[in-house]
């Protein structure tokens, strides 16, 4: 007589499934904490930790019999500090992220300007394009000067003016970064 036994084994190991879900949760947490919100959370935690340490140092001199009261007061101070510093930390983090973004954009623009200038020095076609753009800019500037005499005129030499106007011309075309 023959008997069949059908045992169903899982296709995936349960430990592997748990590790994959933990890694996915960590990746999701990283996306949530990045940017100004994460920086605000970090600054808030630092401020609360500093206030908690100061409160603990002040309350450390109290007798051992009042330890429960001390811990309740310490946590009350910690939660009050969370409520007090939340807005300040959020604004400080937003300013820090904004200034870092502006700084990195300025560095990227400067690098792009240098690369384009080096390409223009090496390739006469690119230099001709830049000279046409500078000439257009000068025509617009001359038209504006003729319309309103309050615009100051430039007293630089024409040869050095190409390099001087390069930054202004390149800022008109921010998408053409090399």
**Residue 20: its H or E element:** helix 14-33
Question: Which carries the bigger pLDDT value, residue 163 or residue 7?
Answer: 7
pLDDT in tens, 65-123: 676 677 777 788 878 877 787 888 788 888 888 999 999 999 999 999 889 888 888 99
Please report, rounded to a whole number, the percentage of residues in the chain having pLDDT higher than 70.
72
Q: Give the Å distances, CA to CA, from 83 to 56, 94, 167.
A: 19, 18, 47
Nearest one of 139, 45, 28 to 86, comparing CA atoms: 45
CB count, 10 Å around CB of 26?
10
Mean pLDDT of 45-53: 80
| Angle at the Cα of 117 from the Cα atoms of 133 and 125, rounded to 5 degrees | 60
Mean pLDDT of 3-14: 77
Q: Write down the pLDDT at residue 30.
A: 66
Q: Choose the weakest-confidence range: 8-17, 27-36, 66-75, 126-135.
A: 27-36
> Is residue 116 within 8 Å of 134, Cβ to Cβ?
no
62 token code pair: 């109290």
> Is residue 35 within 8 Å of 97, Cβ to Cβ?
yes
Question: Which carries the bigger pLDDT value, residue 154 or residue 94?
Answer: 94
Domain ranges of the chain: 13-106, 123-178
**Residue 105: its H or E element:** helix 67-122
Q: Write down the pLDDT at residue 107.
A: 93
pLDDT tier at 177 (50, 70, 90 boundaries)? very low
Question: Which carries the bigger pLDDT value, residue 31 or residue 17?
Answer: 17
- Cβ-count burial of 40 within 10 angstroms (0-12 exposed, 13-18 middle, 19+ buried)? buried
CB count, 10 Å around CB of 154?
13
């Amino acid at each position: 007589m023959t008997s069949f036994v059908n045992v169903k084994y899982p296709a995936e190991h349960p430990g592997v499934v748990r590790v994959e879900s933990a890694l996915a949760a960590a990746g999701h947490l990283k996306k949530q904490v990045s940017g100004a919100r994460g920086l605000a959370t970090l600054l808030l935690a630092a401020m609360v930790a500093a206030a908690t340490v100061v409160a603990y140092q002040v309350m450390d001199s109290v007798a051992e019999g009042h330890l429960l009261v001390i811990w309740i007061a310490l946590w009350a101070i910690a939660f009050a500090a969370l409520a007090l510093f939340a807005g300040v930390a959020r604004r400080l983090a937003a300013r820090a992220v904004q200034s870092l973004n502006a700084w990195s954009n300025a560095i990227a623009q400067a690098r792009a300007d240098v690369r384009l200038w080096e390409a223009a020095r090496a390739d006469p076609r690119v230099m001709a394009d830049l000279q046409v753009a500078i000439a257009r800019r000068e025509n617009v500037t001359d038209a504006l000067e003729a319309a309103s005499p309050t615009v100051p005129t430039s007293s630089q030499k024409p040869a050095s003016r190409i390099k001087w106007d390069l930054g202004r011309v390149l800022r008109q075309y921010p998408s053409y970064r090399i």
